[in-house]
Amino acid sequence: MRDEPAFRAFVEANGATLLHAARLLTGDHYRGEDLVQTALTRVYLKWDRIDAPLAYARKAMVTAHIDSTRRKWWGERPTETLPEVPVADSTTGTDERDELRRLLTGLSPKERAVIVLRYYCDLPEQETAETLGMPVGTVKSTCSRALARLRVELSVGGTP
């Protein structure tokens, strides 16, 4: 039997952080919400068997995001008009966060995952490597390449 109050407390304590990380991974608020929902579903289903739910949720989020970039989705089509008015979130109108999201979308999913886990989630290289299932050296080289690309984008864009 699942400990639902403990799961609820986990979501309340970590939901906003997971959502922000997911928005950085996807570059979009609504896809970020879907990604967090997917990760939390996976956490809930294994709640009694996992020791570190936050690490498991991060791993589930990154895995689901990378998997979604590999598949073609044919179920939804973009339209000229939105069916509903989007709800403004706390980052709307924040130029720096918009710029950060724009820059992160220029990276590959793996590079984006490394940058978000290392610098937003503040994970050490070893824990980032464990979360992504890759060697520490790969985390270091991927991070270095991604930061170099971000620096080039910043210098081209005229931002210091």
Task: Give the pLDDT band (50/70/90) at residue 81.
Answer: confident
Task: Give the pLDDT band (50/70/90) at residue 82.
Answer: low
CB 19 within 8 A of CB 32: yes
Q: Is the pLDDT reported for residue 160 higher than 50?
A: no
Percent with pLDDT over 90 in the chain: 56
Query: What's the pLDDT at 74?
Result: 60
Burial 25-52 (b: 16+ CB within 10 A, else e): bbbebeebeebbebbbebbbeebeeeee
Give pLDDT tens digits for 105-157.
889 999 999 999 999 898 999 999 999 999 999 999 999 999 999 988 888 76
Query: Residue ranges per domain, the chain?
Result: 4-85+94-157
Classify domain 4-85+94-157 at the CATH superfamily level.
Answer: PhyR, sigma-like (SL) domain (1.20.140.160)
Task: Give the pLDDT band (50/70/90) at residue 2.
Answer: confident
Find the angle CA(134)-CA(15)-CA(102) to the nearest 5 degrees. Answer: 65
Give pLDDT tens digits for 24-48.
998 889 999 999 999 999 999 999 9
- Long-range CB contacts (< 8 A, 24+ apart) of 64-68? 64/35, 64/38, 64/39, 65/22, 65/25, 65/26, 65/35, 65/109, 65/113, 66/109, 66/110, 66/113, 68/35
